[in-house]
Amino acid sequence: MVTEPFIHLANVRKAYRKGEEEFLAISDVTFDVMPGEMVSLVGPSGCGKTTLLKILAGLHAADSGEVRVGSAAHSFDPARDIGMVFQQPLLLKWRRILENVLLPAEILGLPMAESRDRALELLALVGLSGFEDKRPYELSGGMQQRAAIARALIHNPKLILMDEPFGALDALTRENMNLELLRIWRESHKTIVFVTHSIAEAVFLSTRVVVLTAGPARMADSIPIDLPLPRRLDVKTTEVFGTYTRRIYQLLGMG
């Protein structure tokens, strides 16, 4: 039996309009994402990665092409099945960590008692047990970003969209967060689309890397990453890993 893709993008095109002027941000993007996959989008700055993520989030409409999220086997409710994580944690300063994690549940009107239990479980999942009553400023940048990930999971969405979530972290914290994210992904069985500037990060985290070339975004390739799971950091020193990263550098014209 062939599984249907969870996300199907075909010849997606998107231009930003400002009065008469038109700015082409995405010219032609085609790729599929299978349910439960962890896909990274890499490409130079300004090539349209965020735009693509916003199209997937339903915040922008594509001008032309096909955008389909969900399949017969995996239904998708655009109001409830998207979790978002941004480069900044964007926690609400006036709320405690637990209340921050609960924000999407409040907006969706989910039952609060259950959501609280779930929030506590998720805080444990992201390694923040015991911090539920802290304010955001009492947490480090990496811890805040973990809380943001817990917030993205609270309503149990099927699709997690992450826009350079670790871009603001130092290298060591970032590697740790990569390991954490892999673990969270494996434990939560979510489909994740992950935008990053780091080719190594993309290869390390993903089951597939979508390479976009300089704007307007065109898809250079969609590369399945056949590295064993679970992954450890030393996979980065292997020959296969090097082959993947070299390939992507070449596609981006930097090889």
Ligand X SMILES: Nc1ncnc2c1ncn2[C@@H]1O[C@H](COP(=O)(O)OP(=O)(O)OP(=O)(O)O)[C@@H](O)[C@H]1O
Hey, which residues does 17 pair with through a beta bridge? Answer: 22
Choose which of 7, 9, 12, 25 interacts with ligand X (CB under 6 A): 25
Cα–Cα dist 221/213, whole Å: 9
Binding of other proteins by 90 (CB under 8 A) = yes
Q: Least distance (Å) from Mg ion to the CB of residue 49?
A: 5
Binding of other proteins by 170 (CB under 8 A) = no
Binding of other proteins by 112 (CB under 8 A) = no
The tokens describing 215, both together, are: 């704007």
Cα–Cα dist 203/149, whole Å: 20
Q: Least distance (Å) from other proteins to the CB of residue 116?
A: 17
Choose which of 17, 21, 94, 237 interacts with other proteins (CB under 8 A): 94
Choose which of 3, 64, 78, 140 interacts with other proteins (CB under 8 A): 78
Sequence-separated (6 or more) residues with CB below 8 Å from residue 11: 28, 29, 30, 64, 65, 66
Site string for ligand X, 68-107 (x = CB under 6 A): ----------------------------------------
Binding of Mg ion by 173 (CB under 5 A) = no
Cα–Cα dist 255/241, whole Å: 15
Binding of Mg ion by 50 (CB under 5 A) = yes
- Closer of 88 and 176 to other proteins (Cβ): 88
Contact between 30 and 19 (Cβ < 8 Å): no
Query: Could you give phi then psi for residue 36, rounded to 5 degrees?
Result: 80, 5
What is the per-residue DSSP string for 70-126? --SSS---TTTSEEEE-SS----TTS-HHHHHHHHHHHHT--HHHHHHHHHHHHHHT
Q: What does 23 interact with, of other proteins, Mg ion, ligand X, none (CB < 5 to 8 A by kind)?
A: ligand X
Q: What does 57 interact with, of Mg ion, other proteins, ligand X, none (CB < 5 to 8 A by kind)?
A: other proteins
Q: Which of residues 128-167 bind other proteins (CB under 8 A)?
A: 135-137, 155
Binding of Mg ion by 71 (CB under 5 A) = no
Binding of other proteins by 116 (CB under 8 A) = no
- Residue 251, H or E segment: helix 239-251
Q: Least distance (Å) from other proteins to the CB of residue 57?
A: 5
35 preceded by cis ω (within 30°)? no
Residue type, 124: A
Residues binding other proteins (CB under 8 A): 54, 57-59, 78-80, 82, 84, 86, 88, 90, 92-94, 103-104, 106-108, 135-137, 155
Residues binding Mg ion (CB under 5 A): 50
